[in-house]
Amino acid sequence: MMKPLIHRWLLLATLISLPAMAQETEYQFGVRWSVNDLASSLSIQGIMLDFTGVASNFDRRQPITEYTRTGNNTIELKTWIDGGYWAEDQIKASLLYWEPGQNPNTEANTAFEVVMMPGVEDAKPEIVSVDPSAPLQPRESDIGFSSNGRYETLHISFNNRQSMPTWCWQEGDVLQDNDATRDSLTREYRRLHALFAAGDNEALLNAAATRTEELAIASDTPEEYVRHRFSYDMYFDNPDVYQLNDFPEEPMTLNLAADNRVAWLTTEGVNVPIVFSHVGEGETVTFIRPYFIKRNGQWEICR
């Protein structure tokens, strides 16, 4: 079990020309999930969106429009606990949709909801509600709960009936899980680390143009607002509080997702190479967590 950390999932993307988008989305999408006193992680298409490495109680929402494609999609909610589950333990996940301009916290509709009671003998995930008019529909035969001895996974497959843009994470080359891919990606991480070490906020934001454009499309908000939201000036303007860690020297672990088109590196567990330590706050850190694709021979930060 990891030591307690405060994670701020900060995502980047590189400057590339976006392909022509399909028709504008009619709805925006999100996932709402809750666990009671469990450690957990949430992924879509294999791309991790959230990690809580200590037992926690929460009820969270996360927008996923830019991770959702037309047709089949998959979400995995992993949980683990020492000593086994209690009968009252509950894992719940809901797929949400709302119209642009609506407040997703108060006006989102529930497409469907899945509940799992892992401490109940012979329990199986149960779809407790379905909105038949929603664009997101559960694939009942592909919803299950499994264990590999280290953690349990609630696997949720769903179909999106709405036409979507072709996102950057769908367009990367199929990557090989080998040392050559890892070493090539390590060099790209070193380049980014050097930009952080130089405190070059503009260069980092310029490198994030794809992320900015796609998140603006997904959230129906101006690109300038998205760009401003991801400014790193808070870290660069307060070097006495936020200190960039040295880049790791040891070889790292290559992680692949989204049909092996998305890649990122980890050092230990889910820790990543680019980290800001918070001075005077014990083990509190900020992880910079880019997700890459490779296209035309170049690494691009897609999310």
Q: Dump pLDDT digits (tens) for 135-176.
A: 999 999 999 999 988 899 999 999 999 999 999 999 999 999
CA 4 to chain centre: 19
Mean pLDDT score of the chain: 90
pLDDT value at 1 more than 80: no
Element (H, E) at 205: helix 201-206
In the predicted model, what is the mean pLDDT of residues 274-292? 93
* Cα distance between residue 73 and residue 157, in whole Å: 6
In the predicted model, what is the mean pLDDT of residues 268-297? 93
pLDDT of 208 reads: 81
Q: For residue 50, what are the CA distances in angstroms to 27, 42, 279? A: 23, 5, 24
Higher pLDDT, 190 or 17: 190
The answer to whether the CB of 95 falls within 8 A of the CB of 77 is no
pLDDT value at 282 more than 90: no
The answer to whether the CB of 42 falls within 8 A of the CB of 49 is yes
pLDDT of 25 reads: 61
pLDDT of 243 reads: 97
Q: Which of 284, 241, 289 is nearest to 3 (CA)?
A: 284
pLDDT over 70 percentage in the chain:
92
pLDDT in tens, 204-254: 998 888 888 999 999 999 999 999 999 999 999 999 999 999 999 999 999
What token pair was written down for 8? Answer: 């701020």
* Cα distance between residue 191 and residue 276, in whole Å: 16
pLDDT of 24 reads: 52
pLDDT of 206 reads: 85
**Three-state DSSP class for residue 134:** coil
